[in-house]
Amino acid sequence: MKRAIFPGTFDPLTIGHYSIVIRGLEIFDEIVIGIGTNQSKKTLFSVEKRLDIIHQAFANESRVKIEAYNSLTIDFAKSVDAKFILRGLRSVGDFEYERTIGETNRILTGIETVILFTEAEYGHISSTVARDLITFGKDITSFLPPNVKL
Ligand code: ADP
């Protein structure tokens, strides 16, 4: 069984994240979405709410599992017996970050990072912009996966 983790902050999960996971299911038998909770960065949504949003998005996908974790991403991958880390790439800015972490993770553990380019129509979508819009009372339905209600 080919299992990958899809780690992130998901504050909140967007349609960009959702698309990467759905496309990732063509490559992997199972994807464990891991909500990292050990970062010092403050989040808008609680871990419970972030879990709830992701559960809503993937309610019909039995091959998608969802967990919160509070450790290094490579240790989380090992704990669920995943040999791959799935990530999405939007821009050159994402690339530098992913390259450094992906290479470190591979050297330390042999876990490979598999990167999918974002679909062009979701290239501008980010959790950061979604949070800014929410903070100023705007509707972000178009940023969210189908079937998700905040
Ligand atoms: P992190 O805090 O680790 O960057 P995020 O929740 O921001 O976590 O993102 C998780 C993953 O999803 C990252 O690989 C990120 O590049 C990717 N991602 C975020 N937004 C998009 C998008 N619109 N399209 C494709 N991938 C995306």
What domain range includes position 20? 3-143
What pLDDT score does 39 carry? 66
The reply to whether 149 falls in a domain is: no
Question: Which CATH number do you get for residue 69?
Answer: 3.40.50.620
Residue 47 placed within a domain: yes
pLDDT of residue 38: 77
> Has residue 150 been placed in a domain?
no
- Quick check: CB of 127 below 6 Å from ligand 1? yes
HEC states along the chain? CCEEEEEECCCCCCHHHHHHHHHHCCCCCEEEEEEECCCCCCCCCCHHHHHHHHHHHCCCCCCEEEEEECCCHHHHHHHCCCCEEEEEECCHHHHHHHHHHHHHHHHHHCCEEEEEECCHHHCCCCHHHHHHHHHCCCCCHHHCCCCCCC
Q: Mean pLDDT, consecutive 10-residue segments, the chain of 150 residues? A: 98 98 98 90 94 98 98 97 98 94 98 97 96 97 95
* Residue nearest ligand 1's atom 5 by CA: 8
Q: How many domains does the chain have?
A: 1
pLDDT at position 41 is 77
User: Which one from 3, 83, 90, 106 is the annotated catalytic residue?
Assistant: 90
pLDDT at position 26, please?
98
Task: Report the pLDDT value the prediction gives residue 9, as an integer from 0 to 100.
Answer: 96
Task: Check if 20 has its Cβ closer than 6 Å to any atom of ligand 1.
Answer: yes
Its pTM stands at: 0.95
